[in-house]
Structure 1
C-alpha cells in the first residue's frame, strides 16, 4: 500500500503537467483518491428509510487511509462520459438491524476486504465553469471477502477545477441490490469518493497550449491571441498574413515597414530610405522633371527623359537645340533647322571662283594653278553642311556641239568629284553640262570665249 501511495503521487505530478480539459478536445480523464463505504442504508427495513441518515453516517463509514479507487473515463459528447471505477476498502464497521425491531447495532466484522468494479455513465452540466456538477448511473459488481453481488448504481458528484488540467472530484454513489438484505452477500450501501482528476487526450502538435482543432497554425507555436499562429516580428500581424514576417511593419502594408514614411512599403520602394512619390516608386525628384534622381543625370535641373533628365544643349548657340539642329556645331537659323543659310553673297563668291577654274585644253583635268581655287570652294561648301548644290559646266563654241556637250559634262563632274573626295556628301551635289548652249559673252572674241568657258554653282532649294 505504501508503494501505491508513491505511485499516486508520481502520477499526480505527471498528470499535472500534461493533462488538459476533458471535453471534445481532451476526452480522457483519470481520477485517483479515497473512498468511504457505509451499509447503514442497507440495514433499513424500508427503501425510503435508506436515505434518512445520509448526512449522519460518519460513525458507520469505512475508510481506507490510502489511494483506494481509480477511475478512467472518456467523454463522448453533449455532456456525457463513460467510465470504469475500481475501488478497494476494509470493512471494520458493520451496521445490523435487530430482527423485529427498529434498533441498529454497529459491530466489527473482522476487517472484511471490500472490492468493487463499476461501470458509470455521467452527465455533467456547467462544463465551461470551474464548478461542474454531474449525475451518474451505472452498475457493477461488489465483493466482500469472497462473496459478491451485482448492483445498480446512481448518484451525484461535482468537479472543482483548479485549472484546465487538474480538478477535485467528490462523488456519492448509492449501490442497490435487489436481494433480501438479510440473505444478501453484499447489502445495499452508499460509497463516497474524493480525489483528484486529471484530464488529457487533446492534440497540440506545436505544444503552444492551443489544441490543433482550434489552432490556425497547428505545426508552429504561437500565442492564444493569434489562434496559435506566430508573429515573429512582433508587429501584431501573424506571419502567415505578414508580407514581411521577419521585420516589424504596419498593418496597412501587410506587416511591411515604410522607413521613409512616403506611403510606400519598403519592399515596393526603390528608394526606401528617402521619401519620394508613388509614381516614381518612392524615389525623390528634386527638379520635378518626372525623372527620379537616381536615374537623372542632371538631378538639380529639369530636363526631358529622352536626354536622361538633362536639358538639351545648344552647342553652337544659335537658339536651335542640338536635338533639332542639323548643324549642331555651326550657327544657323531656326528656319534652316539650325544650319546657316546660303546667301546671295556666298553664291556670288562661289561662282566667282567657278569662273576661274582652269582645265587643261580640251580636257576635264585641272591645271595645277587652279587647286587653290578649288580649296576655297571646298571650304565654303563645308560651312553649309546641309545645303545642296548643282555644279554646271559650260564651254565656248569652238569644236562640234556634241564634243562641247560631253566636255562640259565631264568638267562639271570633275569639280563634283573633287568636292566629294574631299569630304562633301555626294547626295548634296549634282553635276550637269550645257555645252555651248548658254554663253554669257560673244564667242567671236577670245575674251568672250574665255568667259563662256566656266563652271557655275547653283543652290538647290528644298522644302
Structure 2
C-alpha cells in the first residue's frame, strides 16, 4: 500500500486537474487487465474472520494474491454515467480469515452496473465510481451466487488509458459459502470512438463531423487560417479581419473587398471603395474627365459642345457631328438628300416577278447605306410600287416583298432595324401612265422617304425621357 500511495501522489503531480475523455459515448468500450486479491477476514462473519471492515488493508496476513494476470473485464458505456461491466477472475486461496488452508482454486464471473462520479468532479482525471451487481463464484469446485457492491477509482492517464483500483464486497446467498472482499488493480483501455473526419475530435463533440477542423472551433475548419472559423467567415478562403467578418481589405480603405468595387485602389466608402480624384461625386472609373470636376449628368465632365451646334454634348445625340437643336444635335435630312436617295433607289432592279435583288443593284444600295449612315437618328421609310399589269392582290404582295428585301439588305449592312420601315403599295400610287412601256417602267420602283409618324413618336418619347 505504501507503493500505491506514492504512485497516486505522483499521478496528482503529473496530471493536475487536466480534463480527459475517459469512458463515455465517444469511447464506449473498455477492456481491463490486472490482478485481484481475495480476503475473507473483514466481512463481519464468525471466526476465523474478524468484524466488518477490520484489518481491511492487512495485505500480508489476509489477502490472497495470485502473482500473475488474474482478472479480465469488458465494459460498455450505456449513458448518463452508467457502465455495464462483465469480469472474469482466478485466484488461489491459502488464507481463510486468520487460518491457513490448502491451496483452494478460486474462479468468479461477475456483472455490475457502475455509476461514475467523474462528471460531478468537473470531468477531470480522477474518476470514482460505485457499482452494484452479482456473480457466480467457484471455490475448490463448489459454486455459489453472490450479490456484489463495488467502490472503485479510475485514474485517467490519457483519453484512452486509466489505472483502475476497486474493491468489491461479495455477499454469498448461502450461509455455508464464504462472503468475501475481492480487490483488484489493473489497466483499463477504452476505445470505439467515432471520428469520421479524422481530426481527433469525436463526432459527438464535433460540430463539423464530416470536415476536418480544429479543437478550438469544436471540430470546424478555418480554411484561411485567419482565426475565424469558416461557418462565421464571409470569405472562408481568403484571410481577413474580424471587423469585416473574415474578409480582407486589400487596399486598406476601410471597405472590405467583397463590397469594394475597386479593391486594389484605396477609395471612399461613399464611392463603394473607389476613388474620386476630382471630388465631383463621380467615381474615377465612371468619370470621363477624372481630373476635371463636372456634374454626374455629364459623366463627370464640364459641360461642352464639341461640334459647336448649340446642343451641349450631354444632350447631343450626335456630339461629333453638327446638327440642329430641333433634331437633338443631329443633322436633319433635307429634300436634296431624299432626292439623292431616290436617284439611287430608281436603279435598284429585281428579278422578273420576284423580290430578289439583282446583283448589279448592290452599288446603288451601298450608296443608299452610306447616306443613311450619316443620319444616325433618322427613321427612313421604304415604299414598294408596281405597274398595273397583273392582279391587284399579286401586285400588292410583290411590292411589299420587294420593299422588305431592300430593308433587309440595308439592315444586313449595319443600319439598325429600328430606323427602317417598309410597306408595299402595289399599283395604287403611279407616277406615270401605265399605258406605255416607259410609264410602266417608272411605276415599277422603290421610293425612300422619311417616316414622319415614327419620328414624331420618337421625338415625344425623347422629350419625356429628358424631362424625367
Normalising by structure 2, what TM-score? 0.58
Q: Distance in 1 between matches of 2:201 and 2:301?
A: 62
Tell me what 2:379 maps to: none
Q: Distance in 2 between matches of 1:164 and 1:236?
A: 27
Q: Deviations over 1:391-450 (max 9, x none)?
A: xxxxxxxxxxxxxxxxxxxxxxxxxxxxxxxxxxxx9xxxxxxxxxxxxxxxxxxxxxxx
RMSD of the alignment, in Å? Answer: 3.6
8 Å contact from structure 2 (residues 38, 183) kept in 1: yes
Structure 1 window deviating more from structure 2 (122-131 vs 247-256): it is 122-131
8 Å contact from structure 2 (residues 43, 51) kept in 1: no
User: Does 2:237 correspond to 1:243?
Assistant: no
Tell me what 1:379 maps to: none
CA distance 1:52–1:287, change in 2 (3 Å): same
CA distance 1:316–1:138, change in 2 (3 Å): closer
Structure with greater Cα Rg: 1
Three-state SS of the structure 2 residue aligned to 1:179 is coil
Tell me what 1:297 maps to: 288
User: Does 2:151 correspond to 1:156?
Assistant: yes
Matching residue within 112, 117, 122 for 2:114? 122
Task: Summarize the alignment of residues 435-454 of structure 1 with structure 2, pairs less than 5 Å apart.
Answer: none
8 Å contact from structure 1 (residues 90, 114) kept in 2: yes
CA distance 1:179–1:306, change in 2 (3 Å): closer
Tell me what 2:104 maps to: 112
Task: Summarize the alignment of residues 22-421 of structure 1 with structure 2, pairs less than 5 Å apart.
Answer: 22-41=23-42, 44-45=45-46, 49-91=51-93, 93-95=94-96, 104-107=98-101, 109=102, 111-127=103-119, 128-181=123-176, 184=177, 187-315=178-306, 321=312
CA distance 1:38–1:135, change in 2 (3 Å): same
Three-state SS of the structure 1 residue aligned to 2:158 is coil
Query: 1:254: Cα distance to partner?
Result: 2.0
8 Å contact from structure 1 (residues 155, 171) kept in 2: yes
Q: Distance in 2 between matches of 1:133 and 1:274?
A: 64
Q: Deviations over 1:308-358 (max 9, x none)?
A: 433233458899855679999999xx9xx99xxxxxxxxxxxxxxxxxxxx
Q: Distance in 2 between matches of 1:138 and 1:288?
A: 86
Three-state SS of the structure 2 residue aligned to 1:267 is helix
Q: Distance in 1 between matches of 2:248 and 2:320?
A: 52
Three-state SS of the structure 2 residue aligned to 1:49 is coil
Moved over 6 A (4+): 316-320, 324-331
8 Å contact from structure 2 (residues 168, 183) kept in 1: yes
Q: Deviations over 1:353-378 (max 9, x none)?
A: xxxxxxxxxxxxxxxxxxxxxxxxxx
8 Å contact from structure 1 (residues 168, 197) kept in 2: yes
Tell me what 2:378 maps to: none
Tell me what 2:464 maps to: none
Query: 1:69: Cα distance to partner?
Result: 0.9
Q: Deviations over 1:130-181 (max 9, x none)?
A: 2222222221111134221111222311111222322111111122213344
Query: 1:223: Cα distance to partner?
Result: 1.6
Q: Distance in 2 between matches of 1:57 and 1:140?
A: 24
Normalising by structure 1, what TM-score? 0.58
Query: 1:27: Cα distance to partner?
Result: 3.0
8 Å contact from structure 1 (residues 20, 198) kept in 2: no
Three-state SS of the structure 2 residue aligned to 1:240 is helix
8 Å contact from structure 1 (residues 43, 95) kept in 2: no
Count matched residues: 306
Q: Deviations over 1:77-132 (max 9, x none)?
A: 343322111111233x2326xxxxxxx4324x1x4332110011222223313222
